[in-house]
């Protein structure tokens, strides 16, 4: 089993992009679309929660030295989560057409966010953390993922404590 946190999260990214592509292949099948979107929402919620958990609990990033990185990381998470909520809401009215532009927007955002994370953030996780730490994290990620419980609000509360000295950052958490 790989001991790379980066690889663990990168495989989620691949899965999210695969699901988004599959949405456009099911043209004309509302029931299938609903299932795809529900699955997508679930995986994005889980991915963001676990990613933010690792960031807050293990990376101990300085909120001033890493300000630009953190602002972009959290803003894009907020943007993607808001778009997800919008898609979920519109899905009830018109599962076939209303959400298509939002899905394309989501797809573009996810690709941008994934590239940003791969270049600026993921490599640090494997570099900064020891092999033992990475093993502990991967085990705990596995347990959290299986629980199916992703309380984003809780993890944001911890982030607020950690980044309390930076008011600009607090505003977007
Ligand atoms: Fe992310
Ligand atoms: Fe990610």
> pLDDT tens digits, residue range 62-89?
899 999 999 999 999 999 999 998 888 8
pLDDT > 80? residue 38: yes
User: Distance (Å, rounded) from C-alpha 116 to C-alpha 129?
Assistant: 20
Could you give the dihedral angle defined by the CA atoms of residues 57, 63, 67 and 70, in that order, rounded to the nearest 10 degrees?
Answer: 20
pLDDT > 70? residue 12: yes
pLDDT > 80? residue 14: yes
- Packing angle, helices 5-25 and 30-54, rounded to 10: 160
CA 11 – ligand 2 centroid, Å: 9
pLDDT > 80? residue 98: no
Residue 33 pLDDT class (50, 70, 90 cuts):
confident
Highest mean pLDDT range out of 23-27, 81-85, 99-103, 119-123?
Answer: 81-85
Average pLDDT over residues 93-115: 84
> Which structural domain, as residue segments, surrounds residue 134?
5-172
User: Distance (Å, rounded) from C-alpha 51 to C-alpha 121?
Assistant: 11
> For the chain, how many structural domains are there in total?
1
CA 9 – ligand 2 centroid, Å: 6
Residue 27's pLDDT is what? 66
CA 28 – ligand 1 centroid, Å: 31
């Amino acid at each position: 089993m790989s001991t790379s946190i980066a690889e663990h999260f990168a495989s989620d990214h691949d899965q999210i992009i695969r699901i988004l592509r599959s949405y456009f292949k099911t043209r004309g099948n509302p029931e299938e679309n609903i299932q795809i979107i529900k699955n997508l929402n679930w995986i994005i919620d889980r991915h963001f929660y676990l990613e933010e958990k690792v960031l807050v609990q293990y990376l101990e990033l300085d909120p001033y030295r890493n300000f630009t990185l953190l602002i972009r990381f959290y803003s894009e998470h907020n943007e993607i989560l808001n778009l997800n909520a919008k898609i979920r809401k519109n899905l009830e009215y018109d599962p076939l057409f209303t959400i298509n532009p939002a899905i394309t927007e989501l797809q573009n955002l996810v690709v941008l966010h994934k590239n940003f994370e791969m270049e600026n953030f993921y490599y640090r996780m494997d570099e900064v953390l020891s092999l033992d730490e990475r093993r502990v994290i991967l085990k705990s990620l596995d347990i959290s993922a299986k629980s199916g419980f992703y309380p984003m609000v809780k993890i944001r509360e911890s982030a607020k404590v950690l980044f309390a000295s930076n008011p600009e950052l607090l505003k977007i958490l």
